[in-house]
Structure 1
């Protein structure tokens, strides 16, 4: 079969293929059976005819044997004369053994020209007769099938001696008639059988193809609808039923995998666009939503506000109460922020303690300010986190579209700048963005760049401020305070660059420099016989994130040759609680070496006073804010009194920072404070001017003299690194 026909058959529908296969098999089987039986019947009819001819030839031979022996043609002719009445006999010849025709009978309907012996003529030669007889004998079967008559050559014997030959030509019309009838009956049977087979095959192919086509239809439905919950009913328990079972199992597996895939996609979508802690939109989703909102606001000519929120002192909460508490706080903050905005607005967490909000359809800046004020009000109530109750505030920056920016990045950057200004203004407030803030931000970036080079250029200097004993008036120690001699901006106080140093991580290098320089200077004073006065250095909280604080301090002492007893380490409460186990062990080791440990700015942190007895602390320094307000605020006075009483009970020294007036001095002396530090005694001075502090005179005498003028009220105290 040609490839084209094979392709045609291959592309036929399944039911056509089944019909074709069944019909071909049926027809092939019928044809083979018909041919077999037709051939068998033909052979049977032919065999009967041959047997009749043989019997007839034997009779003729037996009757004409004596005539052949005695050469009696008349007797031989009489023998075959009765055959004239037998219509099936066309011709009979009785021949002598030499080939002479002794007797002959030819039926009128035989047609002389068709019989071999008749074609020889009326007086053929014996040799021609014998040759014709031999030909007849060899082609007897062929003649019966081709010429329409059957031939038989039968020898005649007399006393076992061949005396002649009988040649008979019989008409095969009856044979052919019987054969035609048999063939006709066979063909009719085949036709009826084929018709019956067609209807049977049609029914059979439906039994096979219909379930398969139904299954195919179900597959298309599943593919079109993507509904993998569809199941097909099994039509039978055969192989097709097994196919249905397999299809249902496949759908079940696909449905299960599809469900898992949808869950994973939803999870990935959640991870990609939502903050995993607060479930708020993350930076990516916020940027996308804000971009769409800006497009809509621009088309409708409406204003839109972007609000940047940063929690105040969140790092201290993390460091003192742990990250778990910090996470709970962020969740609660997110919940509160979501209660203020409308459904068309978006609250997002950008990371850490930074939250952003954009509000649509803002009429003017006043409306945006109202929203910001509401946000600030959310932090007035404490946050209940398990058994803890925490107060936290937030600094908020607000920008407006299109006045303060027209792109997502520009609006967020300006809101961030406004938020930093809110922090600079004391925190827990909101600030609307102003173009002048950009100048401050630019200056901040420039200052940060200069800060990284300041140490290399030797632009930092140390000033020293004394601590004086209230009973003797003698200086007990001096605190090293860093200043930055900026080449363009001049002398900068710590409040101008310490926060930048902490944000950039430069604070560690700066603190190392302060420690090394202060110890080196104290050693020089000792070598100049100016007295053994301790030098106090404030260590940054970032130092305690490292695990080599002790090694760093000992390395500086070894390099400078300063005795450990002449070094005082000051830390803030947040640094104290940052890694309490490590810090406690460290301070115990430093005290054993002879160093003094002081807690700076005490009273402003988040730690519980009950922690103090665990740490080997020598000194508590009361924060200057309480000292400045103690004469005006009974609450601050009560705090100062409580701190002094508590420190005495723990056998700690008390240092009051920021003392500026005689009234403050007298009040602190009455309450039993041990030492003071502030402008009343001295401003921070350069190292060369410290020598006057080393005299044994009473440095408080001149300040307690009523004739002496008091320093100005409210002067800004030095800010420590």
Structure 2
């Protein structure tokens, strides 16, 4: 059966290629013929459109060129006028000068007559132009057109716009000896309308005259129009090309047909009732456009013909100019080109068809030869394919294994781990049991790599992975996810206790010494564990939680495991967020210092103030230090914040000094244990003091908690002595809350002891607290230390303290903490309680 099928396949291999080639050839030839027809139609259509567009662009360009020439001529009207009248005046001035020079022996009256006789009869510009002579002050000497005004003053003569014609012109010429002047005046032929006129005059010094002439702008413009129309009438291009000009009233100013020139054809309409001239004028008034219409005359035939023209308006002269092309000419040319393209296409088509038939025969023959060759080779390839197929399956399995396993340890990689973890989570939900995700990191592996090289590290990873895999149960999975990190998935757990033996075995497997060559390597493992579905999150989250737990194990001393705790994680998150908020507050200057005054109750004087930090939170308002300082108690940020407090307090002392508060106003700041215990504390304090050279270091007092001072008495004592050498003072804060002995107190160089407010506040009702306060006061006096009481909230507190011998105090009964800006006013307004003063007097 198999052999029969192979024989049929061989026959098909021989027959099918020629059939395919013939079918393909027929199909290709059909496509070529059809495509040729479409191409021919497209070419003709494209040529039609392009040619018509080209013709339209050509006639548009011709009209625009004529438009530019007309505009140029129009713009030169004033230039031509000025040049002409200036030359005329120069000629007249030359004549007058010559007559004067030749007749100096005659009187002014006689010379004047000779000059006026010579100039009076001269006319130019088609008889429009003439000369006039005025004295500079406005008296007319000669006016050929209106001789009646000769000898009279025309100084007050004005045009319709209020311009003084003769006076202004005389002033221009007197200033520059010659010049142009404009005015509006009636024309001799049209007394009902005034037109703009430009005049030129030149100073004639012998008799204080100016000789001048003028010309109406409209007359010069009319000359230019006439000259342009004559030229446009003579422009011809091609057999039928010419320009036409029509004014906005419909008068034909220029046309191929001379009989139409000078006629108004706006009322002449075609059989559809449309006036071509009217349509042309409409376009010209709007701007410019093309117009299709029937022309009454085609020059080459003398018959009416369809035409497309481009029309453009000349608003200043109210002209419509245009030219066009006859549709019959375009169609005739297109028909010729269409016939030519068709012939060219037919010739090319025959060549392509012949070539296609030849290629078809060639490939049919070639396909027969190829099919026989393929049939022979097929049997040979069949045996090779069968052989290679099994090899390909083997390679495929190897590639799949490599894609899902770690190359070094042959353990599942991150991809396969994710799949197995997802499946295990589904099974856990289905069977209502637990699974554990175990994140394992090798302790000391980096040291091995750095010390012995990567080859030793790789060998260590291979051996350690084998041992850890043996430590797992059969149902568990172990994967390497990178470097020295491994993840195990423990399934089918009933309780948390079920996973602990496996975890112990993993720790043991990782910590056993490994011998690589002659070197014995010893490492351990830190393991983090989270349980599902107790920790009911996604697979990725389970991995992250196990990773977090692993870091807890590592920070706790390594070589141990730690179970992930949700509440602990929430606390870590809150801690992290709080730290980030405090970091932001520091960067954005959200912290402020409030100051609580310290007083001498017996003397009634202010001795200083304690700087107390507050957080001006943008959302929660002003926060007490108990709400944020505990978060950073042992964090490096506490040091940064402490230095900010010292710097801000020194800045404030400097500002108070500048205000003239010449009181013994020493300012105390609290120093945290973590800041005080820094090895560079004295150096940092020195730097801060140096940035405020105007502040006496003795005005700064550092308050140290008794409990922090006792942690390392020798070290703290050394730091305090070095700081005192800089000039600052120390106070022992919250005294009575620690367990200091008399020896400790003697060794700490603090010159002030602060009684903790908890004892002071309750001493009126608690005899034990009263005894402690009394004892601290007595102790301070014994060691010759000053003592101050915190928490003085009532008059009675102050009275008892004075009776016990404590004069210094601070608390809400004296003043609440306040902004620095309020301190000066408070100091000037504060008065000690009368009962304290009476007590002092009785003493």
Give the TM-score category using the shorter length: 0.3 to 0.5
Q: State TM-score, norm by structure 2.
A: 0.33
Q: State TM-score, norm by structure 1.
A: 0.38
| Rg (Cα) greater in structure | 1
